[in-house]
Structure 1
Amino acid sequence: MALANIQDKARVVIIGGGVIGCSVAYHLTKLGWKDVVLLERKELTSGTTWHAAGLIAQLRATANMTRLAKYSQELYGTLEDETGVATGFKRVGAITVALTEDRKEELFRQSAMARAFGVEIEEISPAEIGERYPHVNLDGVTAGVYLPKDGQGDPGNIALSLARGATKRGAKIHSRTKVTGMRKQGSRITAVSWQSEDGDQGEIACDMVVNCAGMWARDVGKMAGVNVPLHACEHYYIVTDSVPQLGDLPVLRVPDECAYYKEDAGKILLGMFEPKAKPWGMEGIPDSFEFDELPPDFEHFEPILEMAINRLPLLGQTGIHTFFNGPESFTPDDAYHLGLAPGMDNVWVAAGFNSIGIQSAGGAGMALAQWMEDGEKPFDLGDVDIARMQPFQGNKTYLTERVSETLGLLYADHYPFRQKATSRGIRRSPLHEHLARNGAVFGELAGWERANWFANDGQKPEYEYSWKRPNWFDNAKAEHLAIRTGVGLYDMSSFGKIRVEGPDATAFLNHVSGGEMDVPVGKIVYTQFLNARGGIEADVTITRLSELAYLVVTPAATRLADETWMRRHVDDHMVVITDVTAGEAVLAVMGPKSRDLLASVSPNDFSNAANPFGTAQEIEIGMGIARAHRVSYVGELGWEIYVSTDMAAHVFETLLAAGEGHGLKLCGLHMMDGCRIEKGFRHFGHDITCEDHVLEAGLGFAVKTDKSDFFGRDAVLAKRESGLTRRIVQFRLNDPEPLLFHNEPILRDGKIVGHLTSGAYGHHLGAAVGMGYIGCAGETSGDILASSYSIDVAGTVVGAQASLHPFCDPSGDRMKS
């Protein structure tokens, strides 16, 4: 597809001609974009796409990822008619098999989730598995699920079909044309340099750049000054000789044996996702790489092949036609990278598809194209937004170790609270060793080691994963009840802290947030950053430190995204925005006895008169100084103590020593999640996202529409005028035994009406608690609560009580006492 006379100007340059790049070009031109140029270093599909297995599944881990996967499947079903290029797409169905009770629980929870997402699925018995896949050995099989509309296709031809659709609408595709550099001006790329294999070279001035470079995306990102954390791993499959009378078969997945099976033109393709993968390309990818295979490593594949021959005995009677080893790119969290890159205004990324590029490409291309067209996300893409990646995650040593694990995690048990085992210990609170010595068991988020729970004396300080009550259930209960009845101490140092200062700080924050920022020094404001639709882009607290300076506190995982949002909306405001997260530790002292504990270590006044809820004050504590913020995410009287990292250990030791006389208990962040859900506090990324209107999320109290214009104000006023069409509701199970996590279907009068956005165990309430949205157009609160509600937990329908107010302390008196 190489074309002569490459133009010198384009609206957008897409780098990379795999299935993702072709999909972005296809969808941009479908939206009417002209001057779309795609540059491919070799030939289209020559990196990873050509050797992909071509599995096309619908169900993903979240509602929006499922939406994108379903779109891909529907698109591929119509592409051939549109473009004339056969895609090989056919709906053969798919079966996933469980060999353990834990995997059965996982599959049945996924099945319930699929029903909430509108995906056709069926739980099937071992006998029914045998009926649909007669070649499988059913020894050890406990259950399975069947998705009749899942499919498979020809990866290379799907990409070529997308490319044909794009060129028919005017896109220009240039193969054997390598991007060699970019011209940068401020936060924009103004031109892309290229060189063809025959020695021609030039530059394309452009309005936008899209990095779809697959395994090369990290290096291409560096050209633009953009962090794209991904790394290639070896990925193996074999293709058998022809099997007589094999017939059409569904795709078969046996994750407990790390294997998948696909019928391919009368042969069986057996692929694997082994627990410990082999990273590849640590010294760089050879410039000559094109449709290449890697050296075979039969010893690496052999253990899974042995299990596969037992599971599918016909493999032992059939020769191997092809033993394939090819590289694919993987990311630190097994989610792909999509969106506008932090730090840049016109550099977009679509890369790192973790072996699901074919099933994701259609939806990812559609979503990115719509985002580029509108200037804002079409719906919540937080799971894959490139802004979730932390700067350190582009480190090669980190990536090499992490991706050796993430490949295998695709087929590992997806237990709740499962922690990554590799690339740990990178970001540590200044209190890390103090917490560890006191029994802390750490989890990792955004690279931060965070104390999630505390082991008792003699208890093994490690996670034992389960879908039932985990080994730390009673530990979290004791911590939870300490917060509710006494006093607890936990480390919040990982939360993001962004300082905003300058002569226009007040005006800027009033422009970017829904709350009123023109408040007295020391006042703390809970607020949201809204988009033009009234959706929530960030959920933060903002403390006024002085006349010209504020501190914005964000969740740890969204610190970069929230900072990026502010920077993109500075306009002509005279402000300086600085990440100061590492400069201060934060110790939360929470519970009815928290005032007594602080009074024993500080001469300052913590009374309501001197330090009411929602205010901060400078304090002495022990022999140090700190800043005490009277706020709470657990719904109790308490303070967050901000102390410079050099004095953090002293303050911790002071509180711990004094706490012996007050029954102080060290607590972890699992406790915080259980307490916050009892109180009905929203969790950003779950309960509130960019597509959840702030009023429907029940956060209208935090939006002050009587102030000067701010982002999202018109959408808030419009919703107040038109009324709510959905509302977030809190649910408490009537049965104290089942656990809730998220995505469980909500049934209203016996019919599915939504799914839980988050769930946790409410130890104070004595049952699992969840939150989720239900439709309510034209309904009063009484209408909503008059219905009967239940939650589908892995196929078992459990009755639930619904509430539009927090089950725990609905008046908020405990926090403000």
Structure 2
Amino acid sequence: MTNIPTHARVVIIGGGVVGCSVAYHLTQLGWTDVVLLERKRLTSGTTWHAAGLIAQLRATANMTRLAKYSQELYGRLEEETGLATGFRRVGSITVALTQERHEELRRSAAMARAFGVEIDEIGVSEIAAKYPHLNTDGVVGGVYLPKDGQGDPGNIALAMAKGARMRGAVVAEGVKVTKALKTNDKLTAVNWQSEDGSTGTIACEQVVNCAGMWGREVGTMLGAPVPLQACEHFYIVSEPIAGLTSLPVLRVPDECAYYKEDAGKLMLGAFEPKSKPWGLQGIPEAFEFDQLPEDFDHFEPILEAAVNRMPILGQAGIHTFFNGPESFTPDNAYYLGQAPGMANVWVAAGFNSIGIQSAGGAGMALAQWMDAGEKPFDLGDVDIARAQPFQRNRRYLAQRVSETLGLLYADHFPYRQKATARGIRRSPFHAHLEARGAVFGELAGWERANWYANPGQAREYEYSWGRQNWFDNRAAEHKALREGVGMYDMSSFGKLRVEGPDAMAFLNRVCGNQVDVEPGRIVYTQFLNARGGIEADVTVTRLSETAYLVITPAATRLADETWLRRHLGEARATITDMTASEGCLAVMGPKARALLAQVTPDPLDNDAFPFGTAREVELGMGLARLHRVTYVGELGWEVYVSSDMAGHVFETIAEAGQDHGLTLCGMHAMDSCRSEKAFRHFGHDITCEDHVLEAGLGFAVKTDKPDFIGREAVLRKREAGLDRRLVQFLLNDPEPLLYHNEPILRDGRIVGHLSSGSYGHHLGGAVGLGYVPCKGESAEALLASSFEIDVAGRRVAATASLKPLYDPKSDRVKA
């Protein structure tokens, strides 16, 4: 093939709807030397058999923003390219068959109002009027989104491919990338082979992995792991049904089913509770516009419920039984962004059966990210940097994705834990915690004690939207941290050692705060981007003149390490992940000093050990490093100990703790305490698009030091004033519960949504944080307003504060 160029600014691997979208949006930004290579035919993997449902509302504000953009794009593609996309705004209905599901839908409706998505809560009679073929027996209620739609997946992809070609992109079919050529962390070229046997090489500046269910194998080839796995996905299409007119898309998640009218036929699709992974040994080379063997036995329970729910389906007969593969990820969110470990490899893959509704927005966001060199807005939900290296393990993926497909339509209860592929990463204290009643959750593969069961209490979650079975357990743990002494395991938090002659200068360039401090000092700081947004929220402890320890949240350890490595440049410093080498126990509460004084001879008084310092001490018969910091707003220390001595240190503290009423606490109690203290949670309250000053973290930025990333943006914001502020809210009614995304109403008008929420057991009500617009206003004017929080459609009065409602002067922390 002679029409394949030998050089490109970017090579996109994969010609499904996502790869076509990335090419379309890059050329829209003026990139001309764009090459898209598809191993077979465009859309021949998953796109061609997708259901084509196009919804607006997603779980977060930014994912909703991307979905809404996809709709708008598909609506105008035909005019631009001349190819019909089949896009129709038919609306969608989701119905609930249980009270718990109805609560979820009401909360979703409230979230939609905060996100600016048109939505109506509708009763059974309205549902029947909009969908007369539905058997409404057992239906409790539902929601209707009038602007949701459906489209032709193949033509949507082909239209974007045509748009890219019209602006100069090369879109080549029948060309497979066979090898990646790399120098250190940079990919320099790809080799290709065409179906006619021709071969060649493209030197390239960037590569994008849009290979869909081949994404794992392509990622391995590119040196950038992409943990995903194909699963079988089933749907049936009925025979033509006389008189069947255009209907909204209908979802009945309690029966794992969705329905779509298409050309006078009815499609029934399923997200069954336990799915079937496929292609565990790799996808056959010849796979193209192909389907998998029928498995009627697997689908039969869904069909049986569907025939009852939709009687016309049982009368019409089945025209097509389809089984096709789609790619799924361990957490049901797709992968987007710059791959960790590689300087110029990007990923857009693993779309978990929402590729059509996501592709437009995902392509737009990735193209802008590639063009500008930084994320256009917060994409933490889908950033490939969240994927853990071990997750590419095929046995792990096979177990986990057997669950995650079904979770798409399962009840999305707060605090829901994955049940499969567990127990992989354990702290050195795991067995000790398990023996004392720990109930574990999982984050980034880590088993973490979330709460502790009482003797005789079942060690399991009983999920609901109300007070779950562990609510009182957390209350007791919370009380111990506030009034006595509690201990929780922080070993999963990331520990990055930065060491070398230039370590201080390098970290001072990356961090907003001043890290040129005496050894033994701890600095709370953020990594800022050029806009003053927050890329990471960390503590930095100076261990010596040339060595620092950066402590990061467990979920963002890899992302934070990647940020550091990408800004290291020529600095003479090394970055080493030390997370697994040390265990960490947080000993917190008014009695923390008295307890620790019983296990170490070293002084712990304020003069010898002030807040914000770290010291090595004797502890029991070993050594530990104590950091005097807190994430719960109390006197306390984080106890870091090498993994070999972790068991001894735990047993020593636990034995001494019997004299002080020591209570073991979980992550849920830590979160409720930090919420009362208004400590920010990265990924919720602070993200890359939240300005550090508007987040209320200006105290952690030192603009008197020169040349750190984001400095100019901080100075500009200080000059111009704040457009919004992060406000803490306490519900005046102690009964309702907050999680996040609940709308904030100021003087009766929606002005934002909560970024996080929990229950303040000490304050006596649910608490949350959220941004409120305040351009040109003083803090006093803002707080003079009346605030309410929309909880599932009910407006609940709230007290608002810019200072922490618990211990606003931090007297307890410094006691």
TM-score by length of 1: 1.00
Map 1:143-182 to 2 at 5 A: 143-182=141-180
State the partner residue of 1:494: 492
SS at 1:427's partner residue?
Answer: coil
State the partner residue of 1:324: 322
Aligned with 2:725 (options 707, 727, 736): 727
Deviation at 1:4, TM superposition (A): 4.2
C-alpha separation between the residues in 1 aligned to 2:200 and 2:685? 49
Aligned with 1:27 (options 25, 28, 38): 25
C-alpha separation between the residues in 1 aligned to 2:541 and 2:11? 42
SS at 2:799's partner residue?
Answer: strand
* Contact residue 66 and residue 117 of structure 1 kept, 8 A: yes
Q: Does 1:587 align with 2:585?
A: yes
Map 1:99-498 to 2 at 5 A: 99-498=97-496
Aligned with 2:741 (options 737, 740, 743): 743
State the partner residue of 2:788: 790
SS at 2:812's partner residue?
Answer: helix
C-alpha separation between the residues in 2 aligned to 1:481 and 1:535? 35
Give deviations 1:363-394, integer Å, cap 9, x for gaps: 00000000000000000000000000011011
SS at 1:471's partner residue?
Answer: coil
Aligned amino acid, residue 265 of structure 1 = A
Give ranges in structure 1 of 5+ residues lacking alignment.
Answer: none
SS at 1:360's partner residue?
Answer: helix
Give deviations 1:37-57, integer Å, cap 9, x for gaps: 000000000000000000000
State the partner residue of 2:59: 61
SS at 1:812's partner residue?
Answer: coil
Deviation at 1:708, TM superposition (A): 2.2
C-alpha separation between the residues in 2 aligned to 1:382 and 1:248? 37
Give deviations 1:51-84, integer Å, cap 9, x for gaps: 0000000000000000000000010000000000
How many matched pairs? 815
C-alpha separation between the residues in 2 aligned to 1:370 and 1:438? 50
Aligned amino acid, residue 687 of structure 1 = D
C-alpha separation between the residues in 2 aligned to 1:573 and 1:94? 55
C-alpha separation between the residues in 2 aligned to 1:687 and 1:411? 27
Aligned amino acid, residue 476 of structure 1 = R
Deviation at 1:5, TM superposition (A): 2.2
C-alpha separation between the residues in 2 aligned to 1:674 and 1:320? 52
* Contact residue 530 and residue 712 of structure 1 kept, 8 A: yes
Aligned amino acid, residue 375 of structure 1 = G
C-alpha separation between the residues in 2 aligned to 1:203 and 1:126? 61
C-alpha separation between the residues in 1 aligned to 2:745 and 2:706? 42
Give deviations 1:505-530, integer Å, cap 9, x for gaps: 00000001001111000000000000
C-alpha separation between the residues in 1 aligned to 2:526 and 2:741? 24
C-alpha separation between the residues in 2 aligned to 1:682 and 1:689? 10
* Contact residue 510 and residue 708 of structure 1 kept, 8 A: no
State the partner residue of 2:770: 772
Q: 1:264 to 1:4 in 2, by over 3 A?
A: farther
Aligned amino acid, residue 713 of structure 1 = R
C-alpha separation between the residues in 2 aligned to 1:159 and 1:496? 40
Aligned amino acid, residue 449 of structure 2 = A
SS at 1:715's partner residue?
Answer: helix
Deviation at 1:570, TM superposition (A): 0.4
Give deviations 1:152-186, integer Å, cap 9, x for gaps: 00000000000010000000011000010010011
C-alpha separation between the residues in 2 aligned to 1:317 and 1:462? 43
Aligned with 1:558 (options 539, 556, 572): 556
Aligned with 1:538 (options 536, 539, 543): 536
Give deviations 1:745-773, integer Å, cap 9, x for gaps: 00000000000000000000010000000
C-alpha separation between the residues in 1 aligned to 2:79 and 2:706? 53
* Contact residue 230 and residue 332 of structure 1 kept, 8 A: yes
Aligned amino acid, residue 418 of structure 1 = R
SS at 2:813's partner residue?
Answer: helix
State the partner residue of 1:624: 622
C-alpha separation between the residues in 2 aligned to 1:658 and 1:28? 62
Give deviations 1:74-102, integer Å, cap 9, x for gaps: 10000000000000000000000000000
* Contact residue 248 and residue 263 of structure 1 kept, 8 A: yes
Aligned amino acid, residue 349 of structure 1 = V
Aligned amino acid, residue 234 of structure 1 = E
Give ranges in structure 2 of 5+ residues lacking alignment.
Answer: none
Deviation at 1:806, TM superposition (A): 0.2
Deviation at 1:605, TM superposition (A): 0.4
State the partner residue of 1:699: 697
Deviation at 1:624, TM superposition (A): 1.0
SS at 1:813's partner residue?
Answer: coil
State the partner residue of 1:609: 607
SS at 2:752's partner residue?
Answer: strand
SS at 2:598's partner residue?
Answer: helix
TM-score by length of 2: 1.00
C-alpha separation between the residues in 1 aligned to 2:3 and 2:254? 53
C-alpha separation between the residues in 2 aligned to 1:801 and 1:84? 55
Q: Does 1:761 align with 2:753?
A: no
* Contact residue 232 and residue 281 of structure 1 kept, 8 A: yes
SS at 1:127's partner residue?
Answer: helix
C-alpha separation between the residues in 1 aligned to 2:251 and 2:522? 52
* Moved >6 Å (runs of 4+): none
* Contact residue 746 and residue 790 of structure 1 kept, 8 A: yes
Give deviations 1:314-346, integer Å, cap 9, x for gaps: 111011000000000000000000000001111
Deviation at 1:27, TM superposition (A): 0.2
Q: Does 1:663 align with 2:672?
A: no
